[in-house]
């Protein structure tokens, strides 16, 4: 019914849509950054949270080093006999120093620092441990003992994680909406520029689909071209940022595992934007032509 | 072939630019549409080439009321109508050949046959050496000939022309009229809007005369001039 004929292929003058591939490049660039940020945070949050789940930390403090060591050993015995606790390990001084070093700096941990004893507990997944009862038990040994299952921190952590992820998703949706608006504007602007040509095509019996096809193909090309450019630049940016973060945050924050498979899905962004441009242009042209007799 | 029944038309719900027009054109007939500026000639042509719908009345073309035809049916009907616009309406980004080939390409044609056919017609209207020229580089007369070639390339059932000889010299004017007469002989219904009374008298085709949006009379005259003879004389 609608044969293909690009009636604008010979237009040589600078059109209003000339800059559209570059606008699309910027949109794809920003979308990829938002999506990459979301994916990396998701992966990082999962890594960090899973390293804390099923772990309880017991901290024994005090002025007298020998006394807190003795109390720690006694607490260790109590913990080993508690149902649901599968591992109990007192961290060595070296391990505690390693944990503190990124915050205090190398060589600043001296003997006169009141460093607590840390006991790391592993718990069974399917057994409920009454932490209040456990705390009362070990408080009987020492008043200066603190038990932390990281639940409160993890709760805040998850809230933050979801907020950041949904914000990134929201940004992505806004970029897509902005892209749709830009394509509608570009299509209408181009149709206005070629109004007389479109009228002649229309009066000579061109179907709406034929005119729409010219526009949808053109805008699909713009979307894809811009998409490829944006994708390349976003990968370069993310790669550069990761190297910077790795160098700056070594030891302070654990680098998340890169979700390569999920990141590979970003390769579809140029195709997604090309389809978005194509569909938007087609619907816009069909709606504008629909107002003609 | 073309019948108007009590047709009125207004733009944007304004006053009627055409008022209660009724006439019937037989298939294969040729008519002139005359009248002063602002009489409604272009509006009447716009209704005939399906650029507008009437506000009242029926327009019977191709055996149906096109005034009420579904929008999706109009492209097919428009392909059976050739139009020569007063302002030519050539596409500036296309060469003369591509402009003339436009109706064929819209109809789905492609390939070298189209170009051959178009070149033959352009050659006939005296534009052999201007085929690849863009409209912006053509003179008024040359543009008009390209516009006429574009209108007739598909051998339409109905040919509508708005002042088709306004910008050409008398010799070319006769040559173009000869083309119209020949097309008419092949069965094309032709309506030519013109101010040129000499042309009307020379061809002697019936006249639809409009004034103030009303069809004053449909007068028929017999053809008084044999254009073939004229052209033969001119070339001998």
Number of structural domains (chain A) is 2
- Other Cβ atoms less than 10 A from the Cβ of B236: the count is 5
Residue A245 inside a domain? The answer is yes
Q: Give A59-96 pLDDT, tens digit per residue.
A: 998 888 888 888 999 998 888 888 888 889 998 888 88
Q: If you count residue pairs, one on A and one on B, with CB atoms under 8 Å apart, how many are there?
A: 54
Q: What's the whole-number average pLDDT of chain A?
A: 86
Query: Is the model's pLDDT at A235 over the cut of 80?
Result: yes
Distance CA B79, CA B76 (A): 5
Distance from CA of B80 to the nearest CA of A (A): 9
Query: Is the model's pLDDT at A249 over the cut of 80?
Result: no
Note whether B89 contacts A200, CB cutoff 8 Å: yes
Residue A11 inside a domain? The answer is no
Q: Which domain holds residue A143?
A: 55-148
Beta strand pairing call for B207-211 and B189-193: unpaired
Mean local confidence (pLDDT), A114-124: 87
**Contact yes or no for B9/B47 (Cβ under 8 A):** yes
**Of A25-34, A170-179, A205-214, B213-222, where does mean pLDDT reach its minimum?**
B213-222
Tokens representing residue B171 in the block = 């010799």
Q: What residue in B sits closest to A13 (Cα-Cα)?
A: B93
CB contacts of B53 in chain A (<8 Å) are 293
Which residues of chain B register pLDDT less than 70? 218-236
The reply to whether A43 and A64 lie within a common domain is no
The reply to whether A130 and A188 lie within a common domain is no
Model confidence band, residue A272 (pLDDT cutoffs 50, 70, 90)? very high
Mean local confidence (pLDDT), A251-276: 83
The reply to whether A61 and A172 lie within a common domain is no
**Contact yes or no for A274/A224 (Cβ under 8 A):** yes
Beta strands in B26-162 (DSSP E): 30-34, 56-61, 64-65, 81-84, 158-162
Instruction: Please return the burial class of A157, using the count of CB atoms within 10 Å of its CB with bins 0-12, 13-18 and 19+.
Output: middle
Query: Is the model's pLDDT at A186 over the cut of 60?
Result: yes
The reply to whether A189 and A281 lie within a common domain is yes
The reply to whether A175 and A286 lie within a common domain is yes
DSSP code at position B71: G
DSSP code at position B39: S
Q: What is the pLDDT of residue B236?
A: 34
The reply to whether A66 and A32 lie within a common domain is no
How is B161-220 classified by DSSP, letter by letter?
Answer: EESTTTTS-HHHHHHHHHHHHHHHHTT-EEEEE-S-HHHHHHH---EEEEETTEEEEEE-
DSSP-based three-state secondary structure for B62: coil
Q: What is the pLDDT of residue B219?
A: 63
Q: Which A positions 85-144 lie with beta carbon below 8 A of chain B?
A: none
The reply to whether A209 and A179 lie within a common domain is yes
Model confidence band, residue A3 (pLDDT cutoffs 50, 70, 90)? low
Is the CB of residue A200 less than 8 Å away from at least one CB of chain B? yes
Residue A229 inside a domain? The answer is yes
The reply to whether A163 and A283 lie within a common domain is yes
The residues facing B16 across adjacent strands are B10
Domain boundaries, chain B: 90-155
The reply to whether A142 and A160 lie within a common domain is no
Residue A95 inside a domain? The answer is yes
Distance CA B41, CA B212 (A): 10
Note whether A204 contacts B102, CB cutoff 8 Å: yes
Q: What is the pLDDT of residue B233?
A: 45
The reply to whether A265 and A175 lie within a common domain is yes
Q: Which of A7, A202, A205, A212 should we substitute to test contact with B (largest number of B Cβ atoms within 10 Å)?
A: A205
Q: What percent of chain A has pLDDT over 70?
A: 94
**Contact yes or no for B5/B57 (Cβ under 8 A):** yes
Q: Which of B51, B93, B103, B152 should we substitute to test contact with A (largest number of A Cβ atoms within 10 Å)?
A: B93
């Amino acid at each position: 019914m609608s044969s293909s004929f690009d009636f604008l292929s010979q237009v040589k003058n600078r059109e209003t849509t000339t800059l559209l591939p570059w606008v699309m490049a910027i949109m794809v660039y920003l979308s990829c950054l938002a999506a990459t940020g979301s994916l990396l945070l998701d992966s990082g949050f999962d890594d960090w949270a899973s390293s804390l789940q099923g772990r309880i930390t017991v901290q024994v403090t005090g002025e007298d080093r020998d006394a807190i060591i003795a109390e720690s050993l006694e607490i260790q015995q109590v913990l080993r006999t508690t149902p649901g606790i599968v591992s109990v390990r007192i961290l060595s001084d070296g391990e505690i120093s390693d944990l503190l070093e990124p915050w205090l700096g190398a060589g600043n941990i001296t003997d006169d620092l009141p460093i607590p004893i840390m006991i790391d507990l592993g718990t069974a997944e399917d057994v409920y441990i009454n932490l209040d009862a456990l705390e009362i038990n070990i408080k009987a040994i020492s008043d200066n003992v603190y038990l932390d299952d990281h639940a409160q921190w993890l709760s805040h952590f998850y809230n933050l994680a979801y907020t950041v992820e949904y914000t990134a998703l929201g940004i992505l949706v806004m970029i897509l909406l902005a892209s749709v608006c830009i394509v509608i504007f570009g299509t209408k602007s181009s149709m206005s520029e070629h109004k007389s040509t479109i009228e002649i095509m229309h009066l000579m019996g061109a179907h709406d689909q034929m005119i729409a096809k010219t526009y949808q193909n053109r805008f699909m090309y713009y979307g894809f071209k811009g998409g490829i450019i944006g994708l390349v630049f976003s990968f370069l940016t993310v790669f550069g940022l990761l190297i910077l973060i790795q160098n700056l945050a070594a030891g302070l924050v654990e680098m998340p595992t890169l979700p390569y498979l999920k990141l590979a899905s970003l390769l579809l962004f140029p195709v997604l934007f090309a389809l978005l441009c194509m569909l938007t242009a087609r619907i816009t042209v069909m709606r504008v032509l629909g107002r003609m007799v | 072939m073309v019948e108007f029944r009590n047709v009125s038309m207004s733009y944007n719900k304004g006053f009627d630019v055409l008022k209660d027009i009724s006439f019937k054109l037989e298939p294969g007939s040729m008519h002139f549409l005359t009248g002063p500026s602002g009489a409604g000639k272009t509006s009447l042509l716009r209704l005939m080439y399906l650029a507008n719908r009437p506000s009242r009345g029926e327009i019977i073309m191709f055996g149906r009321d096109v005034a009420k035809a579904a929008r999706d049916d109009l492209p097919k009907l428009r392909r059976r109508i050739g139009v020569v616009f007063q302002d030519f309406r050539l596409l500036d980004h296309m060469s003369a050949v591509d402009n003339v080939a436009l109706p064929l390409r819209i109809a789905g044609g492609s390939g070298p046959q189209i170009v051959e056919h178009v070149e033959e017609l352009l050659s006939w209207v005296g534009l052999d050496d201007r085929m690849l020229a863009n409209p912006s580089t053509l003179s008024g007369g040359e543009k008009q000939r390209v516009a006429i070639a574009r209108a007739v390339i598909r051998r339409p059932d109905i040919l509508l022309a708005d002042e088709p000889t306004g910008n050409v010299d008398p010799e070319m004017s006769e040559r173009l009229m000869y083309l119209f007469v020949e097309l008419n002989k092949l069965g094309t219904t032709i309506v030519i809007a013109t101010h040129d009374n000499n042309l009307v008298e020379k061809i002697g085709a019936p006249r639809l005369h409009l004034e103030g949006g009303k069809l004053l009379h449909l007068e028929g005259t017999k053809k008084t001039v044999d254009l073939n003879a004229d052209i033969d004389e001119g070339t001998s």
